[in-house]
Amino acid sequence: MKQILLVFIGGGFGSALRYIISKNLNSFYPNFFLGTFLSNILGCLLIGILLGLSAKEKILTQNQTLLLATGFCGGFTTFSTFALEKYNLLKTGELLYFGFYLLSSIITGILAVGIGIYISKHV
């Protein structure tokens, strides 16, 4: 039960922060959801750093990993919102924005995880 509560609390904080970021940034560029994009990329970077440091230094307990990586990062990143936004771009025929946003999110997200792991190994 404690582990579920840790994921729940972390997820709540992550979701609330994602909402604040998206609410304030998604309106800057039409058809490119900057807040969602940044939440996903920052979440990928953070999970890379957390898990990299945990593997390197053993500084996070299993409960801390559940709170921060599974809970916070899981709530902060927004794959379901990401998928919905891609669907809406396809539905409205915005193929250029669809392709650019899809590829930039995936490629940058993977790079951010790698950078996070790299940073954690060299801190």
Binding site listing: 74, 77
Please give the Cα distance from 84 to 63 (Å, whole number).
31
The binding site for Na(+) consists of 74, 77
Burial 77-105 (b: 16+ CB within 10 A, else e): bbeebbeebbeebeeeebeebbeebbeeb
Among residues 96, 105, 104, 103, the alpha carbon closest in space to that of 31 is found at 96
CA–chain centroid gap for 5, Å, is 20
